[in-house]
Structure 1
Amino acid sequence: MKVRTITQVALMTAILIILGLIPGIPIGFIPLPIVLQNLGVMLAGALLGSKRGTLAVFSLLVLVALGCPFLPGGRGGIAVFIGPSGGYLLSYLLCPLIMGKSLEFFSNKKMLVDFAIIWIIGVVFINVCGAIGLTISTGMTFWKALLSVLVFIPGDTIKSIAAVLIFEKLRNNAVFRSNI
């Protein structure tokens, strides 16, 4: 691996960790808080692309599995992967992979297209996977879980707008360009 690639992955992993250290906002009617970490996942896929973005998220998830308290609320350990947020965490791993490939294939450097890709994958995909995980871990029906995660859509949409604005600003920055 090139030094630039290692540095990019390490820095994005650090951003993911920092966003995870920001306490979540509890909702009350579901066991999941509103968090900022998914903004970092969106940025990983958009800025670093599928390979490097997925590697950064994978690095975070390995550290979490090893017990590092890098999820909101200071959570960590293998148990979080089978709890209510398990679906979200697994979707975090797929999000940069799908988003990076989609932006590479469909993006025509128009902000609206980039927003659609980032929103569909970073908001819809992650929340549907989160609802599936919530269904498995709590036993609630899928439709009830899907309805309950709708509360995240407005905030996640704002995060996706932020991700698009950051991506558009940094898209051609030499720091993020790479030949891998």
Structure 2
Amino acid sequence: MNTRDLVLIALFAAIVVVLGFIPPITLGFIPVPITAQSMGVMLAGCILGARRGALAFLLFLLLVAIGLPALSGGRGGLAVFAGPSGGFIIGWVVATFVTGLIAERTVREGQAETRQFIGFFLASVLGGIVVLYAIGMPWVSAVTGTPLMTVAAGSLAFIPGDLLKAAIATLAARAVYAGYPLLPARA
């Protein structure tokens, strides 16, 4: 890991903090708000790759754990990890890693632009939505005592917004990749 990697990791942790300034949208039927920070998972994975993206989120979680009000709505401290959103928040690290891994394996220099868009979108959806929900929904179920199928049904309301976030992350990742490729090349 070199200085450039450390700077990129810190930069993306800061970007996720800034995404937290966008107020959360709460839905009455599920205790987890809609936030822009989950788009940071997709951005960090697609732009930085698996390792650096996950490290950016580990740094972010460290900032939250020490009490920095870095989460959407000005939340921070250890208590947020024990709440209904805790599984999603902790899952950001794994989801970013998976997003980055898929992006590293599907997007290459010299590929047709359309294939790069598809690769970034696929990575964003599989890592930033599927993996994140697979970690977060059982956590919500366990913390609230709500049956998992009820939590899953309630989570369907998040899908359209998450697909929009994936599309935005895809466009941003492709723009960065075209001008300044940061994604590690895989053989």
Distance 1:113 1:5, change over 3 A: closer
Listed one character per residue, the Cα deviations across residues 110-135 of structure 1 (whole Å, up to 9, x for unaligned) are: 12233122112111221232211101
Counterpart of 1:139, as a letter, is: G
More strand by share: 2
Aligned to 2:102: 102
Aligned to 1:49: 49
Relative to structure 2, which stretch is displaced further, 101-110 or 64-73? 101-110
Q: Which runs of 5+ in 2 are unaligned?
A: none
**Superposition map of 1:25-174 within 5 A:** 25-107=25-107, 109=111, 110=115, 111-174=117-180
Counterpart of 1:124, as a letter, is: V
Stretches (4+) displaced over 6 A: none
Listed one character per residue, the Cα deviations across residues 18-64 of structure 1 (whole Å, up to 9, x for unaligned) are: 00122101111111111000111110111001111011000000110
Query: In 1, distance between residues paired with 2:149 and 2:107?
Result: 32
The RMSD of aligned alpha carbons is 1.8
The answer to whether the Cα contact below 8 Å between 1:128 and 1:146 also exists between their aligned partners in 2 is no
Deviation at 1:175, TM superposition (A): 6.5
TM-score, scaled relative to structure 2: 0.89
Query: In 2, distance between residues paired with 1:113 and 1:162?
Result: 14
Aligned to 1:15: 15
Deviation at 1:92, TM superposition (A): 0.0
Count of matched residue positions in the alignment of Structure 1 and Structure 2: 180
SS at structure 2 position matched to 1:32: strand
The answer to whether the Cα contact below 8 Å between 1:12 and 1:44 also exists between their aligned partners in 2 is yes
Counterpart of 1:71, as a letter, is: L
What percent of counterpart residues are identical? 37
The answer to whether the Cα contact below 8 Å between 2:104 and 2:184 also exists between their aligned partners in 1 is no
Query: In 1, distance between residues paired with 2:119 and 2:180?
Result: 22
Q: Which runs of 5+ in 1 are unaligned?
A: none
Counterpart of 2:140, as a letter, is: L
TM-score, scaled relative to structure 1: 0.93
Listed one character per residue, the Cα deviations across residues 59-114 of structure 1 (whole Å, up to 9, x for unaligned) are: 00011011111111111111111110011012101012111112222335412233
Deviation at 1:173, TM superposition (A): 3.3
SS at structure 1 position matched to 2:11: helix
SS at structure 2 position matched to 1:31: strand
Deviation at 1:161, TM superposition (A): 0.3
Query: In 2, distance between residues paired with 1:103 and 1:26?
Result: 31
The answer to whether the Cα contact below 8 Å between 2:141 and 2:147 also exists between their aligned partners in 1 is yes
Query: In 1, distance between residues paired with 2:180 and 2:107?
Result: 19
